[in-house]
Amino acid sequence: MGVSHVLLGVLADGPAHGYDLKRAHDERFPATKAMPYGQVYSALQRLQRDHLVEIVETVQEGGPERTVYALTDAGRTELASWLEATEPAGPYAADELVRKTVTALWRGTDAADYLQRQRTVHLGRMRELLALQASVSDTTARIAVDHTIFHLDADLRWLEAAAARVADAHQVTHRGEAKA
Amino acid sequence: MIRLAWRLAFARGWARPALLAACTAVVSGLLLVTLAVLRLPAQPEERLLAVITDPGTRGGYAFGAALLIIPPLLLLHQVVRLGTSARERRLAALRLAGATPAEVRRIGAIEVGIPVFAGSILGLGLYRLLRLCFGGTRFGEYPSHAVHLIPTTVAPAWWETLLVILGVTLLGVAVGALASRRVIVTPLGVTRRAAAPAPRPWGALALALAVVSGLAAMRVDGPQAHTLGMAGALVAIALALLGVMALAPWLAFTAGRIVARRARTGPVLLAASRLVAEPRPAARAAAAVGGIGLVAGGASAFVADVMAMQNDDDGYYLAPVALVAVCLLGALVVVVGSLAVHSVESLLDHRRSVASLTALGVPVDTLITAQRWETGLVALPMALIGTLLGSVVYGLGPVGGPSFVWFACTIVGLTLVAALCWVAVLAAVRVVRPWTVRAADPAHLRTE
Amino acid sequence: MSEIQFEARGVRKAYGRTEALRGVSLTIGAGEVVAISGPSGSGKSTLLLALAGLIRPEAGEIAYDGARLDDLGEAHRTRLRRRQFGVVLQFGQLVPELTAAQNVALPLLLERHDRAAARRLALGQLERFGALDLADALPGELSGGEAQRVAAARALVTGPRVIFADEPTGALDTVGGEHLLKTLLGAARDNDATVVMVTHDNRVAARADREIFLRDGVIA
Ligand SMILES: Nc1ncnc2c1ncn2[C@@H]1O[C@H](COP(=O)(O)OP(=O)(O)OP(=O)(O)O)[C@@H](O)[C@H]1O
Ligand SMILES: [Mg+2]
């Protein structure tokens, strides 16, 4: 599902065209590959089919005709439940974790709560891995488990840093507003 | 508990306990001398300095001997504070390890109490030694020496001696407690109560009271006039000493602020800002200088007075003046100790910042110049103000009006005291030089 | 669940204008291993110190074994602490003038134990933490990690009911930290002791039964 939830997240801020959606995605994930238009439109079609988004208007500003999409109530619910659910702590969910966290942070509202619950899931997994590590006697096996633990640890640190950066940015904007 | 305190008392080497013991030895020795003098009958059966033999001036002599304990007490205070930050760290760590505040206080008291007790017993030996060297000679015996300052026909009673030993020990412990009173020892390091307020010139109040009681003393009459006058004069002198010394922090702060604003060179600015930031330690070190100045000023006016009488002085007046001068020099040596200990303390406490200054490229010589300024900025004004005050008050009071001789004597006194004071500052900084060089080693940036 | 050992309600603590704790409520059961985590400056150490009776909160209550801890007199609290609590802090906890072994024996000496017995117990604890060869070193001669091991040995020497540790593995590498933590937690389990530890290290937090996460002076 991945990318479509990100698009839902962008649309939660207000209706947008496909091009705006692509730009917003690329802005939110500067470290990943830019999203091709094709992927945006196929994702939007799927979302429309599932009644998660709807077309609100079609505008023509000189150039080609543009369709403006908006979130439906079902879309809003879907986004909320996606943001609500924690991701399994590794080993292959990292991309989805990043997508979800960034989307949640852009939503702003209950990101902290999500991060906290995600942290609990990760810590739980780490606890299992530590138990596993204690139960194996072979040093090489322990080292192999270390690898997974360290990656989990990196994910956890990243979650913390994300929360801290959001808090920082909030403070900066608030201060900016207060001054203005 | 005692074992623990014992270990802590000597953990930082013998210098501190030895200095503490030396200070208290001088204090209890001097107090024993005072008591012995007070025990003399109206007609002593021995040959002594005229001012001691004469019951009229004997009280003043005893009083002077007692006053001499002030410089060593100030030095004691200084020594107790030596390495304050290390001590505070240690006490906090003890609290964390589970020692109650009372236990920590007890450990601190024992830590100071042991050397101080040893010192006050040593004072007994000092008293014996002084008696041996400067004791009076029984009439009829052939005097083995020329100076007779301490009675040998009478001595303090055993209980008086015991009282002195216990009292001085308690006094030392009390001074020790006083030195750490600003510190609430919590298990998590030391929290000072809110930053100390800038010092105020309250000492001036004591000085005013001194003038009032001095004037009152001169005007009393009636049957008790002599006793009252004497008491009033002594009270006035004590108040004046107290006032001058109490002025020291304010003077240090003010001098620091004035100079800091006008400072052109690094060392001067460094010295002056340190005084503004922490006027009290430097003031404590230099306080005795004010007292010395006061007495010296009074003495120079007195000399003028004696010279004005123009009669043949057979040493009745001038011998005590010489004695006072010798005592003042002795006190000045103690002051050198105080100034040096203050510099060492400030070096130890600011080791890191001193080291970082050298790391920044400030040469050691600059640091030493700064030390000279820091001590000099307090000590010199204290000395001059003290001397001037002593001379003016004595000159205008009992003598009744300025004269040319008085003026000349005052100038000579001022110059002499200022010069000696500067010598003391130089000596103190010189004594501290090895510590300064060591503190300036940037290696301190790594340790601790 | 085991019986409640610590109960904090609405605990507040400010340093000047910095509000370190802004109303923290929690319970800790006897024998529980609890990790306090959160961003730097979120009040973790402050909470630990308040629970250990080392600082007094301005408002709120802290009960230990059902009795108020925060309004106990200083001497009383200190004695309680040295008999029932063991504390390992971030830094500055060893008496600089005493050797490692003497530092470890200190709580016993304050309880007027026999000197020889105290030293024996102290050496035993040092050995447990692999620090026996440091016994006669002064704290100034120890590395940060070594000092932390000595401090941990001291925290355990009285067989405390509660062990408080502020970043116990902060100055150690992964393997060294693991060893110290295993020893600490093992000793706690042997005594049925409660453990409250502040940590930045997720691996340490994961060893706890429960995590308390602080953010800006409140539990997140
Ligand atoms: N003694 C103190 N004086 C003034 N402010 C303090 C003091 N101790 C802590 N603070 C402040 O209180 C807040 C919380 O401090 P605390 O030490 O509890 O944080 P922490 O979560 O342990 O941080 P770290 O992870 O960095 O150790 C911080 O903003 C800190 O600056
Ligand atoms: Mg902390």
ipTM: 0.78
User: Is the CB of residue C205 less than 8 Å away from at least one CB of chain A?
Assistant: yes
Please identify, among A53, A84, A115, the residue that sits at the C-terminal boundary of a domain: A84
Residue B229 Cα distances to A148, B60, B243, B398, angstroms: 93, 12, 21, 12
The rounded Å distance from CA C179 to ligand 2 centre is: 22
Q: What is the CATH number of the domain that holds A31?
A: 1.10.10.10
Name the minimum distance, in Å, from the CA of A112 to any CA of chain C: 8
The rounded Å distance from CA C14 to ligand 2 centre is: 15
Q: Tell me the Cα Rg of chain A.
A: 20
Same domain membership, residue A77 and residue A105: no
Q: Is the pLDDT of residue C186 over 50?
A: yes
Q: Is the dihedral of CA A51, A52, A54, A60 positive or negative?
A: negative
User: Is the CB of residue C110 less than 8 Å away from at least one CB of chain B?
Assistant: yes
CA distance B349 to C70: 34
Same domain membership, residue A144 and residue A110: yes
Same domain membership, residue A23 and residue A75: yes
- Which is nearest to B345 in space by CA: B212, B166, B179? B179
User: Is the CB of residue C53 less than 8 Å away from at least one CB of chain B?
Assistant: no
- Which is nearest to B152 in space by CA: B126, B134, B170? B134
Question: Which candidate from B86, B97, B186 shows the least CB-CB separation from C106?
Answer: B97
CA distance C180 to C164: 14
Cα diameter, chain A: 71
Average pLDDT, whole number, for chain C? 88
pLDDT digits (tens, 9 = 90+) for A91-134: 655 677 788 888 877 776 667 778 888 888 888 888 888 888 88
Q: Is the pLDDT of residue C144 over 70?
A: yes
Q: Is the pLDDT of residue A179 over 60?
A: no
Taking residues B282-309, report their average pLDDT.
81
Question: Which candidate from C81, C96, C115 shows the least CB-CB separation from B89?
Answer: C96
Element (H, E) at C153: helix C144-156
Q: Do A160 and C213 touch (CB under 8 A)?
A: no
Q: Residue C60 in contact with residue C47, Cβ under 8 Å? A: no
Confidence of residue B180 (pLDDT cuts 50, 70, 90): low
Q: Residue B321 in contact with residue B409, Cβ under 8 Å? A: no
pLDDT digits (tens, 9 = 90+) for A147-169: 788 888 888 888 888 777 777 76
Name the minimum distance, in Å, from the CA of A123 to any CA of chain C: 6
Chains B and A touch (3+ CB pairs under 8 A): no
Q: What is the pLDDT of residue C36?
A: 95
Same domain membership, residue A69 and residue A134: no
Q: Do C202 and A123 touch (CB under 8 A)?
A: yes
Measured in whole angstroms, the distance separating CA B18 from the mean position of its chain's CA atoms is 18
The rounded Å distance from CA C56 to ligand 1 centre is: 15
Tokens of B102: 């009372």
Please identify, among A37, A59, A84, the residue that sits at the C-terminal boundary of a domain: A84
Taking CA atoms, what residue in A is nearest to C42?
A164
Q: Is the pLDDT of residue B274 over 90?
A: no
Q: What is the pLDDT of residue B70?
A: 83
CA distance B6 to B13: 12
Same domain membership, residue A116 and residue A173: yes
Q: Do B96 and C89 touch (CB under 8 A)?
A: yes
Same domain membership, residue A114 and residue A48: no
Tell me the residue range of the domain where A64 lies.
3-84
Please identify, among A84, A112, A145, the residue that sits at the C-terminal boundary of a domain: A84
Q: Do C106 and B98 touch (CB under 8 A)?
A: yes
Find where tokens 């830590």 sit.
Answer: B111
User: Does a structural domain hold residue A34?
Assistant: yes
pLDDT digits (tens, 9 = 90+) for C54-72: 888 999 999 999 888 888 8
DSSP conformation class of B152: S
Name residues contacting ligand 1 (CB within 6 A).
Answer: C 15-16, 18, 20, 38, 40-46
Same domain membership, residue A104 and residue A72: no
Question: Which candidate from C75, C96, C98 shows the least CB-CB separation from B102?
Answer: C75
Coarse DSSP helix, strand, coil percentages of chain B, rounded to the nearest 5 percent:
75, 5, 20
Which range, A117-121, B115-119, C114-118, is most confident? B115-119
Same domain membership, residue A174 and residue A119: yes
Q: What is the pLDDT of residue A109?
A: 60
Confidence of residue A35 (pLDDT cuts 50, 70, 90): confident
User: Is the CB of residue C10 less than 8 Å away from at least one CB of chain A?
Assistant: no
Residue B38 Cα distances to B26, B151, B157, angstroms: 18, 10, 11
Q: Is the pLDDT of residue B34 over 70?
A: yes
Same domain membership, residue A123 and residue A168: yes
User: Is the CB of residue C213 less than 8 Å away from at least one CB of chain A?
Assistant: yes
Contacts 24+ apart (CB under 8 A), C17-26: C19/C217, C20/C46, C20/C217, C21/C46, C21/C47, C21/C50, C21/C57, C21/C217, C21/C218, C22/C216, C22/C217, C22/C218, C23/C60, C23/C217, C23/C218, C24/C60, C24/C214, C24/C217, C24/C218, C24/C219, C25/C60, C25/C219, C26/C212, C26/C219
Taking residues C179-208, report their average pLDDT.
91
CA distance B353 to B359: 9
The rounded Å distance from CA C41 to ligand 2 centre is: 7
Q: Do B100 and C74 touch (CB under 8 A)?
A: yes
User: Does a structural domain hold residue A62?
Assistant: yes
User: Does a structural domain hold residue A32?
Assistant: yes
Q: Is the pLDDT of residue A175 over 60?
A: no
- Looking at the structure of chain A, the number of domains it has is 2
Same domain membership, residue A73 and residue A102: no
Q: Is the pLDDT of residue B344 over 80?
A: yes
Q: What is the pLDDT of residue A92?
A: 56
Taking residues C119-129, report their average pLDDT.
93
CA distance B13 to B170: 23
Q: Do B99 and C110 touch (CB under 8 A)?
A: yes
Q: Do C205 and A153 touch (CB under 8 A)?
A: no
Name the minimum distance, in Å, from the CA of C219 to any CA of chain A: 11
Same domain membership, residue A111 and residue A80: no
User: Does a structural domain hold residue A8?
Assistant: yes
* Pick among C189, C203, C218 to test the A interface (most A CBs inside 10 A): C203
CA distance B108 to B90: 10
CA distance B416 to B292: 12
Q: What is the pLDDT of residue B196?
A: 66
Confidence of residue B169 (pLDDT cuts 50, 70, 90): very high
pLDDT digits (tens, 9 = 90+) for B357-403: 777 667 788 888 888 888 898 899 989 988 888 888 777 665 556 67
Q: What is the pLDDT of residue B127?
A: 92
The rounded Å distance from CA C60 to ligand 1 centre is: 19
Q: B151-187: buried (b, 16+ CB within 10 Å) or exposed (e) per residue?
A: bbbbbbeeebbeebbeebbebbbebbeebbeebebbb
CA distance C89 to C87: 6
Confidence of residue C125 (pLDDT cuts 50, 70, 90): very high
Q: For B205-237, give the DSSP string.
A: HHHHHHHHHHHHHHH--STTHHHHHHHHHHHHH
Find residue C33's DSSP bridge partners: C195
Domains of chain C (ranges plus CATH)? 4-219 (3.40.50.300)
Q: Among A53-67, B335-349, B393-407, C86-100, which stretch is predicted with the lowest mean pLDDT?
A: B393-407
User: Does a structural domain hold residue A89?
Assistant: no
- What's the CA dihedral at B311, B316, B317, B322 to 10 degrees? 130
Peptide bond into C107 cis (omega under 30): no
Q: What is the pLDDT of residue B402?
A: 66
CA distance B275 to B377: 9
List the alpha helices (DSSP H) in B48-198.
Answer: 50-53, 55-67, 70-80, 84-96, 101-134, 158-179
pLDDT digits (tens, 9 = 90+) for C78-109: 888 888 999 888 776 787 778 899 889 888 88
Confidence of residue B448 (pLDDT cuts 50, 70, 90): very low
